[in-house]
Amino acid sequence: MAIKIALLIVFFAIMIAVGIYSRRHSTNVNEFVLGGRKVGPWLTAFAYGTSYFSAVVFVGYAGQFGYKYGLASTWIGLGNAFLGSLLAWVVLGRRTRIMTKFLDAKTMPDYFGKRYHSGSLRIVAAVISFVFLIPYTSSVYNGLSRLFGMAFNIPYSVCVIAMAALTCIYVILGGYMATAINDFIQGIIMIFGICAVVVAILNGNGGFNAAVMKLAEIPSDVPVTMGQPGAFTAFFGTDPLNLLGVVILTSLGTWGLPQMVQKFYAIRDEKAVQTGTVISTAFAVIIAGGCYFLGGFGRLYDTVAIYKEDGSVAYDAIIPSMLSTLPDVLIGVVIMLVLSASMSTLASLVLTSSSTLTIDLIKGNIVKDMDEKKQVLTMRILLIVFIIISVIMALDPPTFIAQLMGISWGALAGAFLAPFLYGLYWKGVTRAAVWASFISGVLITVVNMFPATKFIQSPINAGAAAMLAGLVIVPVVSLITPRMEQGEIDFVFDCFKEKHMVEQRYALPDDDREDTSR
């Protein structure tokens, strides 16, 4: 216990010290929200990765889907790495940085308002962001607090309030730069932590081969597999179709989440984008791949501890049950791992929400004259408000972790992904198509929340359906509705026509000299 407490004290002290140090980088709106758009590749890549993977993934998703699909759940982690990180950086990274800098867009709703020349789109996007980021934040608290309860026997409410207060302090002090620096530190802890835990769990079961053999002996309880042994070590697991739905939601979903995409707004330059792509992908392979691979062995810990009173499986208890068998030192490392993952995600969520409400809803609509100092002060106040709301909701969560995250990701990515992605590349996107995407993303998610109107059993698959629907709806609606004025379109895409001198190692020169080598 002394070791665990000492680690926590050091961790908390470092987080607050970084917040104090970063105060000089948060004097105006651009610095507070985006770090002055001068954040390097390592900080940006780790900020992206640590915002991506929280206690929701480590405790909720790894436990639930590892139990359901066995080792095949590792595909989710690989999907997160190559679709949610690598491809996202390649497709979105540089074009997002170029267009948002040109439009002076600081948030995702701000991007929609300026890209499509519509104040109404900006306001509605801000409301959607604020409303649906709260469930995700609550799920982050929930996952972390379960592990704290296991390690320290501390009440759930105390864990939630303490974590919220600490995160609030360093984000209020240092804004985006404090978040990015702390994300880097927390990311290092996560890498070492997940590697140590995976090795310890495998060793505790006699090594990799012995653990896989034990898992292969367990008969499947999924009807389609007819109780055959070996289903939990099969290449695509017990239910490939639902597994694909999880991969789509957790990987493609990041392309439309405000707290993720806004990392590209802040990156420094072309070289940082290229380097960050590699770092972010490697980070995701280790963290996401490791989490889901670990969860795949969950059935080896099929004890009374993971069942509810009604006999159903408490998925959120699976990973804590696995970890409770580890030595105290390793449990301390795990607590640091999950605390790092959760606080980095929480910091990103609250900063995104407060900046969105201030810049996109209050400024110019509720308060007409709002200078830089007032905006930064308002964001700091809203940080506190947002954290209080999310704490209240977290103390009485409506459902288990994966459902909360599915609702949040489904609505946000379902509404935003398609108009954001198409808007970066295609001049033909219309305002009506953006409205259609907003409506369909929110409607599919909200309607599916209620038992009487539920048409897709899994909220995970409902979220994936909302995203895929938007990718179809936007081009179809754009082709049958009036286009934006040509001048508006040309103004936005002029940003890609600007010429810049770059070093030859980044771009081959146009050489018109006569070839004399022959």
Average pLDDT, the chain: 82
For position 516, what pLDDT does the model report? Answer: 43
- Give the pLDDT confidence score for residue 148 in this predicted structure: 67
Asked whether residue 238 is domain-assigned, the answer is yes
Question: With contact defined as beta carbons under 8 Å apart, do 349 and 136 qualify?
Answer: yes
Query: Can you tell me the mean pLDDT for 152-166?
Result: 77
CA–CA separation, 141 and 339 (whole Å): 10
User: Rounded to an integer, what distance in angstroms lies between the CA atom of residue 151 and that of residue 311?
Assistant: 25
- Top mean pLDDT of 246-260, 334-348, 478-492 is at 478-492
Whether residue 451 lies inside any domain: the answer is no
Per-residue pLDDT at 145: 62
Residue 200 lies in a domain: yes
pLDDT of res. 515 = 47
pLDDT class for 99, splitting at 50, 70, 90?
A: very high
Residue with the bigger pLDDT between 423 and 70: it is: 423
Q: Find the CATH number of the domain harbouring 268.
A: 1.20.1730.10
User: Does residue 443 fall inside a structural domain?
Assistant: no
What total number of domains does the chain contain? 1
Residue 492 lies in a domain: no
From residue 261, alpha-carbon distances to 142, 258, 448 in Å are 24, 5, 26
Query: So what's the pLDDT on residue 406?
Result: 66
Q: Is the pLDDT of residue 399 over 60?
A: no
Q: Does residue 363 belong to any structural domain of this protein?
A: yes
Identify the CA nearest to 379 among candidates 392, 394, 367: 367
Tokens of 400: 């288990």
- Confidence (pLDDT) at 174: 85
Residues 6+ apart with CB under 8 A from 243: 65, 69, 72, 73, 75, 76, 236, 237
- Tokens for 32? 């507070």
Predicted pLDDT of residue 514: 46
Cα separations in angstroms, 170 against 18, 186, 359, 380? 7, 14, 21, 11
Strands (E), 321-379: none
Distances 95 to 91, 98, 107, 111, 460 between C-alpha atoms, Å: 8, 5, 15, 13, 29
Establish if 124 belongs to a structural domain.
yes
CA distances from 275 to 136, 270, 272, 311, 512 (A): 29, 9, 5, 49, 31
Closest Cα to residue 239, out of 231, 249, 228? Answer: 231
The reply to whether 405 falls in a domain is no
Tell which residue, 108, 500, 416, 491, has the closest CA to residue 265. 108
Q: Which domain holds residue 381?
A: 2-400
- Per-residue tokens: 315: 């998925």
Phi and psi torsions of 58, nearest 5°: -65, -45
